Structure 1
Amino acid sequence: MTCVPFVFADATVKLQCNNTRYKLVQTAKTDKNGYFFLEAPKSITTYGAHKCNVVLVSAPNGLKPSNLHGGITGALLRPQKPYVSDSKLPFFLYTVGPLAFQPNCPK
């Protein structure tokens, strides 16, 4: 039997930004495919995004976080591309991951 990391629905992830001016902690749940979306407030700019990361918090069924791509230590945000919203406000979309949980395997 092999224990491998896997993605799980309803897991909790946390965005934390440690800017000296604005501290931010937000959590979100993953959907059935393991994806999540967090919208940071306008106080977090593209210049401050490098001080933000995402960590795995919890998952159902007793799974534990793995450190795949920084799931425990903090996954850095990677910019995807700039967008302009319907209200003509520019914003950046960032991504992390993939992040995963692992089962509690016998040693």
Structure 2
Amino acid sequence: MLYISAGATVKLQCNNTKYPTVETAKTDKNNYFFLRAPKTITSYAFHKCKVFLVSSPVAACSKPSNFHNGLKGSLLRPEKPYVANKLPFVLYTVRPFAFEPKCPR
């Protein structure tokens, strides 16, 4: 498997029937992404959200795999709640994604 690289696109999709939403983000130089969900998504509705692997910045390696549910959608995993600037928030994570090994070596 080829793990995602800087510039890969991921998508957060939340299927709350009242406020469905889709947000995208790109991975940074360390292959991480940070995506702030809209205020319509609360800690009570996070179970209706999934993260998907969308595209690679490398054309030759652009077929997303279903490693850790990158194609089917990975469920959000809540981390410890935090407080910053007197405002509470929860950070959610997903397991690493990968592209199919179809690139030249």
- How many matched pairs? 102
Give the one of 10, 32, 56 matched to 2:7.
10
Over aligned residues, Cα RMSD in angstroms? 1.5
Give the TM-score of the pair, scaled to structure 1: 0.88
Give the one of 72, 82, 102 matched to 1:104.
102
Pair 1:59 & 2:56 matched = yes
Q: Distance in 2 between matches of 1:71 and 1:7?
A: 11
8 Å CA contact 1:11–1:30 kept in 2: the answer is yes
8 Å CA contact 1:16–1:52 kept in 2: the answer is yes
Instruction: Give the equivalent residue in structure 2 for 1:90.
Output: 88
Q: In percent, how many aligned pairs have the same letter?
A: 66
* Structure 1 residue 102: Cα displacement: 2.2
Q: Distance in 2 between matches of 1:70 and 1:5?
A: 15
Instruction: Please state whether the residue corresponding to 1:15 is helix, strand or coil.
Output: strand
The amino acid that maps onto 1:45 is T
Q: Distance in 1 between matches of 2:99 and 2:50?
A: 17
* Structure 1 residue 105: Cα displacement: 5.9
Q: Distance in 1 between matches of 2:82 and 2:90?
A: 6
Q: Distance in 2 between matches of 1:89 and 1:83?
A: 8
Give the TM-score of the pair, scaled to structure 2: 0.90
The amino acid that maps onto 1:74 is G
8 Å CA contact 1:8–1:101 kept in 2: the answer is no
- Which 4+ runs in 1 deviate beyond 3 A? none
Q: Distance in 2 between matches of 1:36 and 1:56?
A: 11
8 Å CA contact 2:14–2:50 kept in 1: the answer is yes
1:65-101 alpha-carbon deviations (Å, 9 max, x no partner) = 1111110000000001101121x12111000011111
The amino acid that maps onto 1:90 is P
